[in-house]
Amino acid sequence: MTVPLPPLPPTGEDEGFRPGGRSIADILDAEHRQLRELLRRLTDPDPASAPQRGLEVLTAALSRHLSAEEQYLLPAVRAALPDAAERIDRAIADDRSLLTALRGLGADGLGDVAARVDRHVEETGALVAALREVASAEELIRLGNRLEIAEEAAPTRPHPGTPATPPWNRVVEPAVGVVDKVRDAVTGRPTYLADLTEPRTD
């Protein structure tokens, strides 16, 4: 079965053609592990294990992650697996709730966010597994490429009121993302896991 994809560059005519990049399944699996690990460190009773400014990075990473999934993963699953429509609608509703929980996130709200992220990982993992059953390796890689591009343009702050489905989320989210990135640059806000500052041990 062919998964309907957004317009992409030609794949070439060679039978053995394989696009470069990582599968959307591999990308999301790695991101889910990183998000869970950051949450584990942030909720650890020992404050020395929490990276400085970790809440800001968690908020930015989750905002980008959910935006990109809604732009490319969920529409691909909906198109390839019509019977999954109810599960996708539930995943979108859960994403909106998670984004709302991220607004003004403080240490006291981390337990709730961690539980929501665990549910998200389980739901999304099941959808990705179903997609892998019907999509080719090439399609999964091409979706992965689009997901990574979408994440770079996505908002770094939670905006639960923005559109959650194509085509409007693919228009609105990058525009909102530009504004977020300007604010991040002006305030020096970290938004990537690589930006995290480890706690001082002296």
Mean pLDDT of the chain: 90
pLDDT tens profile 4-20: 665 555 555 555 556 68
pLDDT tens profile 37-91: 999 999 998 877 788 899 999 999 999 999 999 999 999 999 999 999 999 999 9
Token pair listed for 36? 């869970």
What SS3 class is residue 105?
coil
Q: Does residue 21 have a pLDDT over 70?
A: yes
What pLDDT band is residue 201 in, cutting at 50, 70 and 90?
low
Measured distance CA(171)–CA(168) in Å, rounded: 5
Query: Is the whole model's pTM more than 0.75, yes or no?
Result: yes
Letter string b/e over residues 112-140, b meaning 16 or more CB atoms within 10 A of that residue's CB: ebbebbeebbebbeebbebbeeebeeebb
Residue-level pLDDT at 4? 64
Q: Does residue 24 have a pLDDT over 70?
A: yes
pLDDT tens profile 127-154: 999 999 999 999 999 999 999 999 999 9
Q: Does residue 1 have a pLDDT over 60?
A: no
Query: If you write DSSP's letter for every residue of 57-82 in order, what string do you get?
Result: HHHHHHHHHHHHIIIIIHHHHHHH-G
Residue-level pLDDT at 136? 92
Contact (CB, 8 A) for 107 and 67: no
Contact (CB, 8 A) for 39 and 110: yes
Give me the percent of the chain exceeding a pLDDT of 90: 77
Residue-level pLDDT at 178? 96
Q: How many residues does the chain have?
A: 202
DSSP state of 117: H
Measured distance CA(23)–CA(55) in Å, rounded: 28
pLDDT tens profile 156-183: 999 999 999 999 999 999 999 999 999 9
How far the first Cα of the chain sits from its last, in Å, is: 58
Letter string b/e over residues 19-52, b meaning 16 or more CB atoms within 10 A of that residue's CB: bebbbbbebbbebbeebeebbebbeeeeeeebbe
What pLDDT band is residue 3 in, cutting at 50, 70 and 90?
low
Q: Does residue 120 have a pLDDT over 90?
A: yes
Q: Does residue 198 have a pLDDT over 80?
A: no
Measured distance CA(202)–CA(194) in Å, rounded: 22
Burial class (CB in 10 A: 0-12, 13-18, 19+), 65: buried
